[in-house]
Amino acid sequence: RFRESAWTPAVEAEGEIRDGAWATELTGDVLVGRPKGMRLVVRKERPHPEAQLRLTDSDGMRLTCFATNTSDQPIAELRHRLRARAEDRIRTARATGPRNLPLHRTAQNRIWLEIVQIALDLPAWMASSL
């Protein structure tokens, strides 16, 4: 458990406060034996209304933790969250077709990969235009 005063609001890329999300830093004995400058940041946020809760969720809040050596907590938390989005896009790309090339000839598979890249660009483009 953390004191409520330990949590600071998480921020968005534009610097605005992210509604329903907070971050704090683990200190003390948990860092013993870790490299100098290492920080452990914990984020809590309300899960999506239809999300399945996990055993590690506490009081209806989703908890995640990551290690960093950067000094600015709000920026570190934001950077970690944005990286998760990039990893999600990579996972989507792998499921879309590059892992299972459907055709027998290299030239045909090149065309397939171009189509896959366009298909992957569309959701990213649509999200940025909203």
Question: Over the stretch 38-55, which tens digit does the pLDDT of each residue have?
Answer: 888 888 888 888 877 777
Mark whether 103 and 88 lie in a shared domain.
Answer: no
pLDDT at residue number 82: 66
CB 44 within 8 A of CB 22: yes
Give the pLDDT band of residue 129 (cuts 50, 70, 90): low
Structural domain span for residue 118: 99-130
User: In this predicted model, which residue has the larger pLDDT, 73 or 114?
Assistant: 114
Question: Over the stretch 18-30, which tens digit does the pLDDT of each residue have?
Answer: 888 888 888 777 7
| CA angle (24, 2, 72) in 5-degree steps | 10
| CA angle (98, 86, 24) in 5-degree steps | 150
Mark whether 57 and 83 lie in a shared domain.
Answer: yes
Residue 73, pLDDT > 70, answer no
Phi and psi, residue 11, nearest 5°: -120, 155
Mark whether 17 and 64 lie in a shared domain.
Answer: yes
User: In this predicted model, which residue has the larger pLDDT, 66 or 97?
Assistant: 66
CA–CA distance from 72 to each of 19, 45, 47, 78 (Å)? 20, 19, 25, 10
Mark whether 80 and 37 lie in a shared domain.
Answer: yes
pLDDT at residue number 81: 66
Q: Once rounded to an integer, what is the mean pLDDT over residues 87-104?
A: 71
Q: Where are the beta strands (DSSP E) in 37-118?
A: 39-45, 62-68
